[in-house]
Amino acid sequence: MTARPNSFRAGPDENGHFGIYGGRFVAETLMPLILELEQAYGEAKTDPAFRAELEGWFRDYVGRPSPLYFAERLTDHLGGARIYFKRDELNHTGAHKINNCIGQILLARRMGKTRIIAETGAGQHGVATATVAARFGMECVVYMGERDIERQQPNVFRMRLLGAEVRPVGSGSKTLKDAMNEALRDWVTNVETTFYLIGSVAGPHPYPAMVRDFQSVIGEETRRQILEKEGRLPDVLVAAVGGGSNAMGLFHPFLDEEAVRIIAVEAAGLGIDTGKHAAAMTAGRPGVLHGSRSYLMQDEDGQIVEPHSISAGLDYPGIGPEHAWLKDMGRIEVTAVTDRQALDAFALCSRLEGILPALEPAHALARVIELAPTLSRDTILVVNLCGRGDKDIYTVAEAMGVRL
Amino acid sequence: MSRRIEARFAELRRAGRAGLVTFLVAGDPDMTTFEEILAGLPAAGADIIEIGMPFSDPMADGPSVQAGYLRALEAGTKLRRILPAVRRFRARDDETPIVLMGYYNPIWNYGRLQFLEDARAAGVDGLIVVDLPPEEDAELCLPARERDLAFIRLATPTTDDARLPKVLANSSGFLYYVSITGITGAAAPVPTLVAEAVARIRARTDLPIAVGFGIREPAQAAAIARHADAAVVGSALVDLVARHLDPEGRATPRLVPAVHDKVRALAAAIAGVNRS
C-alpha cells in the first residue's frame, strides 16, 4: 500500500489516524469530551508522578509483573518451537483488562469525574472496571448485551458484588457492539460527570492509543523477561484479537524489531465460509463504527453484521484501527481459528500445563498448536495467555454436552 | 441543491414565521408506505423534510428512531433504494428541501463521492451525518460543498464559545441545534435554555437555526418557534408509524393519515407564533 514507515510505533498522527484508520467519528456532543480527554491524557502521560502512581498500582494491586512461563510440556508435546506463556491470566481479576482499567480510572480521578461507564462482552472488562470503580469509590454502570448476560452469569454476579450496576442491552444483536452503542448513548446524556472507560484499543481517538499505552506493560515486561531467560528477543509473538487490546499490548514494544514475527489470531467461529465468525480483518472490509475507521464485518449496504464466536470476548464485528493499519502494512500476520480449534486448545492446555486458559487466548493457543511443530526447536515463541478460563467453564461444558 | 434550503428560509422570513422540519425514516415500515407519507408532507405543513437513512448501529439515537431503522432494514431498505424515492418525490415537488440524515458507514461503503453525485442528481439538498464532526471534514463535508450540497452541522449544549467557530466554519444550509445533551426522543428541551443558546449562536452566524431533539407536541414546537428559525420533530412521528402497524408489523390504513394529521397540528401551532 504505502511505503514502509521509519517506525511502526510512531502513530497515531495528531488527528488520531493510523494511515486511513482511526479518527474521531463521533457525534458533536462528544467531541469536546474527547478533546478534553486527549489533552488530559497527553499531560498525564508525560507526568512522572502519574507514571509512578500507575506503576505502584500495577505492582501492589494488579500483581505485576506477570510471569513469563516456559510451557515445557506443551513444547515437548508439539515438538517444535520453545513456547512461553505471558501469564496475564494471573493478574487480579484474571485477565489483562485490569491494566487498562487502572490507567483510565487514575486519569478519570485526575479529571475530576465521579461516574464510570463501560461496555463489556465476556464480562472481563466489566469486572475489571467494577473492581477499580469500587477501589476508587466511584459510581459504576456497565452495559452488557442480554445475550452475553445469559452466557456469562458468573461475571454478571461478580460485577454486582463489586457494587456496579449491570444494565442489560436488548437492542440489535444484544452483544458487545450494542453494549458499546448504549454506553455511547449514556455518555452523550451524562457528559458532565461521566468517564467512559473503553475496554479495547477501539473507539475514537485517543482511546486506541491510550489503551495501547496502558496495555503495553505486557510487551515491555515480556521483552525484559525473555532477555533474562533466553538472552535474546523472541522469534514469534502470538495473541488473540477481538478488539485487540491484549495483542496490541504484547506486540507494540516489538513492532520495530524486524526479526520478530507477529501473529494476530481472529475468531473464525463456525468457519469463515459459514459467515458465522468474528474475523473482521480476515473477512471484513474497512468501515466506520464506534468512533473510528477500521476493518468491519458488514453487508453490501454497510450495515454491521452480527459476529459469532464461542468466546464472548472476541465476539465483536470490528478491530482496533492500529491492527488494521499494521495488517495493511504487512507488519502483522492475521489468521483465524474456529470455535472447535479453540476448544481443543483449551483442553490440551488444561491437561498438559495445568492452566485453564480463557477461550480468548485458547484461540491464540490453537494457532500455536498448528504453528509450533513447523518451527525449529531453537525458535522462541511467546503467546499471550491474557485471561483465565474459569469464567468459561459453563460454555465449555455446554460445547462438550456436559450439564453442570 | 442548497439553494432550495436558502429559498425556503427566505420565504419563511418573509412570512414572519418559523419552519417545521419533519424527520421520518426511509423505508419505515416499508418503502411504499414511506413514499406515501413523503408525498403528503408538504401539503400537511412540513417546510423541510429530513429523511433518516437506516443504520444498524445508530449510536446517537433513542429507542424510537432505533426501532424505525430496524423496521426499515427488515423491510429491505438499502441506501441505493432511498435515492430513487427522493427522485420520485422531486418529480412532483421541486421546492421542498430534502435533507438526508444518517451515519457515515453506509455512505463510505457506497463510495462517498459517488454517493454525493447520486444524491445531488436525485434532488437531495443537504446532508446531516451524525458521526462526522468538523475534525473529519475532509471525508464528506468539503466534497459535499463543492457539489453544492449543504452540509448541516449539529451544535449541542457542549459546543462552547471556544468550539462554536469550528462547528460553524464549514456549515451550510442551516445549523441544527441539539436542544439537550442526550439521544433523540429523550428529555424535553427547556425553552429558556434554548433561547439563550440560539441567541449565542445567532451572534456568530447568519445561518438559519433549527432546533430539535425531544420536541414531541405542538405546544413544545410553538415554544421553540418563538426563538428558532425552525423546529425539528422526529421521534414523535416515528412513534406514530410504530403505533399504526398490525401485529405482523405491516402498515394499517390509518398510518399515513395519522402522520399527516400530526404534522398539520405541529405546523398550525408553529404558524400561530408571531415572530415579529
Q: Confirm or reject contact between A285 and chain B (CB < 8 A).
A: yes
CB contact under 8 A, B109 and A290: no
Residues of B in contact with A191 (CB under 8 A): 158, 181
Mean predicted lDDT score pLDDT of chain B:
95
Whole-number pLDDT of residue A391: 87
Identify the H or E element spanning B233. strand B230-233
Instruction: Write the ipTM.
Output: 0.94
3-state class of B57 per DSSP? coil
Query: How far apart are alpha carbons A222 and A253 in whole angstroms?
Result: 9
| Residue with the three cell numbers 498500582 | A57
Q: Is A291 on the interface with B (CB under 8 A)?
A: yes
Q: What is the DSSP string of A137-205?
A: T-EEEEEEEHHHHHHTHHHHHHHHHTT-EEEEE-STTSSHHHHHHHHHHHHHHSTTTEEE---SS-SST
Q: Where are the alpha helices (DSSP H) in A231-279?
A: 245-251
| Residue A46 phi, psi dihedral angles, 5° rounding | -95, 5
Q: What is the pLDDT of residue A122?
A: 79
Sign of torsion over alpha carbons A113, A116, A118, A124: positive
Residues in B closer than 8 angstroms to A30, CB to CB, are: 158
Contact in structure between A165 and A141 (CB atoms under 8 Å): yes
A199 within 8 A of A210, measured Cβ to Cβ: no
Query: Would you call A172 an interface residue with chain B, using a CB distance cutoff of 8 Å?
Result: yes
User: What are chain B's domains?
Assistant: 3-271 (3.20.20.70)
What does each C-alpha distance from A306 to A274, A276, B32, B72, B186 come to in angstroms?
Answer: 13, 8, 28, 17, 27
Query: Is B105 in contact with A289 (Cβ distance < 8 A)?
Result: yes
Give B81-113 pLDDT, tens digit per residue: 999 999 999 999 999 999 999 999 999 999 999
CB of A144 within 8 A of CB of A170? no
For A347, list phi and psi in degrees, rounded to 5. Answer: -65, -45
CB contact under 8 A, A24 and B80: no
Q: How far apart are CA A19 and CA A142, in angstroms?
A: 32
**The predicted structure's pLDDT at residue A271:** 98
Q: Select from A24, A28, A35, A117 the residue whose CB has the most chain B CBs within 10 Å, as the one to mutate to test that interface.
A: A28
pLDDT one-digit tens code per residue, A153-202: 889 999 999 999 999 999 877 888 889 999 999 998 898 899 999 999 99
Distance CA A314, CA A267 (A): 6
How far apart are alpha carbons A345 and A240 in whole angstroms? 13
CA closest to B54 among chain A residues: A303
| pLDDT < 70 regions, chain A | 1-2
The yes-or-no verdict on residue B258 having pLDDT over 60 is: yes
- Active-site residues of B, by number, are 50, 61
Tell if the CB–CB gap between B183 and A189 is shorter than 8 Å. Answer: yes
Cβ within 8 Å, pair A29-B178: yes
Three-state SS letters, B101-168: EECHHHHHHHCHHHHHHHHHHHCCCEEEECCCCHHHCCCCHHHHHHCCCEECEEECCCCCCCCHHHHH
Contact flag A301-B78 (C-beta cutoff 8 Å): yes
Cis? peptide before A206, omega within 30° of 0: yes
| Per-residue pLDDT at A297 | 97
Element (H, E) at A333: strand A333-338
The residue among B77, B79, B158, B179 with the most chain A CBs within 10 A of its CB, best to mutate, is: B158
Per-residue pLDDT tens over the stretch A43-77: 999 999 999 999 999 999 999 999 999 999 999 99
Q: Which of A25, A184, A302 minimises the CB distance to B132?
A: A25
Q: Model-level pTM? A: 0.95
pLDDT of residue B276: 58
Does the pLDDT value for residue B186 go beyond 60? yes
B-facing residues of A in 9-28 (CB < 8 A) are: 15, 23-28
Residues of B near A (CB-CB distance < 8 A)? 54-60, 62-63, 66, 73, 78-80, 103-110, 130-136, 153-160, 163, 167, 178, 181-183, 186
Distance from CA of A376 to the nearest CA of B (A): 44
